[in-house]
Structure 1
Amino acid sequence: MKLWSGTINKSLLSNLIAVFLIVLGTVLPAPYARFAFDTGLFSLSGGLTNWLAVHMLFERVPGLYGSGVVQIRFEEFKLGIRALIIEQFFEKADLTAFFSEGKASSELFRSRLNEILGELDLDNAFDSLVDVIMASSFGNMISMIGGKDALGPLKVPFSNKMRDYFQSAFADPDLLDKIKSQLSNGLSDDTIREKVASIIDQRLDQLTPQMVKEIVQTMIHKHLGWLVVWGCAFGGVIGFAVSILRMG
């Protein structure tokens, strides 16, 4: 399985400490050996379990129900993005009036399109994605690090990354020429909307589940890394308590 570079420090360190306690438990004299071994074993179990859960949030694991929730719910996410772009594409600027005034040029159109994409309100897209994650089987685990409130600071970076992607994706001169051609043909508003929506759909089809997964994973991997740390910590406490009970 893949370890993410951003979480490897605290995640790997936590698990290594747990392994060290297990090894220590094999060399210490009684009764200390039992405390070290049980604490390390339960700690490692908790850390690896949470690490697997974080991995399953983004990757589909055959036979494990609920894994890959970000990719499974990708189509819902993309439909929301599509509606958002089309709505703001036609509401934030009167493009038909813009072209009817005879000012249409590739540079002006590029500037206007970049302006529209730059003003996309992606807060709702982020909120819906967080809702999907929190409603999944991993919602309770994410609640351990503060739930939605803990992920809130990621809204702006997420929106910026998605906005940069769309500005890059829609900057293709051929795409701009297609949209400009449809808008300058003197068609009805409904026809223009239908044709431009079709062109936008073609570009959004290039947004794959893997792209969304990488964007989201990059944004929140540091926060989710704490799940591994807390898994080790809680597991260690349970293991230590078990050792005490055995002593009794």
Structure 2
Amino acid sequence: MDKGWLTNVVALGVTGASYALEGTAAEAMRMAGLFALSGALTNQLAIHMLFEKVPYLYGSGIILDRFESIRGAIKNLVMEQFFTPEKIESFVRSNERSVDLTPIIEATDFTPAYHALVRSVMDSPLGAMLGMFGGDVVIEKLKEPFVKRIKASTIEISQSESFLRALNTHLHQGSPDLAKSIEQIVEARLAELTPAMVKEMLHTLMKEHLGWLVVWGGVFGGVIGVLSALIV
């Protein structure tokens, strides 16, 4: 069972068990269970709202809404990091006709693309909700798998037949507009990246890590519930 749903089941079980007891212990268990269930369900809904549009809930579906900015950030990163005029000129001078960009891509820092994603989420209405549980620190664990996935996708683009054919053609011709041509090729390839594909990719990466947000929501909710019962 998913750790998020397991947290909900445990919280519900604690709530139900409290009705078999009496006195302060029963009240503390009941409050712990209810607060834990509330915290876990709220965080689970917040995670769901990152990827899916929820009717009448403003700010839901932020990944789909910010798709263009995420794709634009990837394109800028590709062009600014390893398709600079200096690198292109170096390729032309070396008279390379079969270019393997994998080492360059592997050595490229893709952190700006990750930060663009984090900014998109934190600047959205959901940012305030995530801020209550640590803000962008909570999704810091996503950085490594996100960067690995983007690198793999970029390598795939650079090794595609259409990309290499166009690149070699322009290298042979010595086109002065090579950088512009490469940018158009990258744009064309990224245009194949649909919102659904980005949502699925990020959902796969985030599901495991953000599941802990539900767990900790239940834990902190339970603690607050116990404290509330004891104080009252």
What is the TM-score when the length of structure 1 is the normalising length?
Answer: 0.78
Q: Structure 1 residue 90 and structure 2 residue 76: aligned?
A: no
CA distance 1:242–1:86, change in 2 (3 Å): closer
- Of the structure 1 ranges 14-23 and 221-230, higher mean CA displacement relative to structure 2 is found in 221-230
**Kept in 2: contact 1:100–1:184 (CA 8 A):** no
CA distance 1:242–1:95, change in 2 (3 Å): closer
CA distance 1:95–1:25, change in 2 (3 Å): same
1:131 is aligned to 119
2:157 is aligned to 169
Provide the C-alpha distance between the structure 2 equivalents of 1:234 and 1:199, rounded to a whole number of angstroms. 49
**What's the Cα RMSD here?**
2.8
Structure 1: runs of 5 or more not aligned: none
- Of the structure 1 ranges 144-153 and 72-81, higher mean CA displacement relative to structure 2 is found in 144-153
Q: Structure 1 residue 186 and structure 2 residue 179: aligned?
A: no
Counting aligned pairs with the same residue, the percent is: 36
Q: Structure 1 residue 38 and structure 2 residue 31: aligned?
A: yes
The letter of the residue matching 2:122 is M
Provide the C-alpha distance between the structure 2 equivalents of 1:149 and 1:36, rounded to a whole number of angstroms. 31
- Total equivalences in the alignment: 232
Q: Structure 1 residue 27 and structure 2 residue 20: aligned?
A: yes
CA distance 1:53–1:194, change in 2 (3 Å): same
Deviation at 1:79, TM superposition (A): 1.0
**Kept in 1: contact 2:85–2:179 (CA 8 A):** no
CA distance 1:231–1:165, change in 2 (3 Å): same
Q: Give the counterpart of 1:231 among 209, 217, 222.
A: 217
Structure 2: runs of 5 or more not aligned: none
Provide the C-alpha distance between the structure 2 equivalents of 1:68 and 1:22, rounded to a whole number of angstroms. 32
Provide the C-alpha distance between the structure 1 equivalents of 2:114 and 2:104, rounded to a whole number of angstroms. 19
| 1:112-132 Cα distance to aligned partner (Å, 9 max, x none) | x32333333211111121122
Q: Structure 1 residue 200 and structure 2 residue 186: aligned?
A: yes
Deviation at 1:242, TM superposition (A): 5.1
CA distance 1:152–1:237, change in 2 (3 Å): closer
| 1:77-136 Cα distance to aligned partner (Å, 9 max, x none) | 1112112212234328643553466542xxx22x2x323333332111111211222222
| 1:12-50 Cα distance to aligned partner (Å, 9 max, x none) | 332122111222133334565444333322321221111
Q: Give the counterpart of 1:51 among 44, 49, 60.
A: 44
The DSSP-based 3-state class of the residue aligned with 1:218 is helix
**Kept in 2: contact 1:96–1:184 (CA 8 A):** no
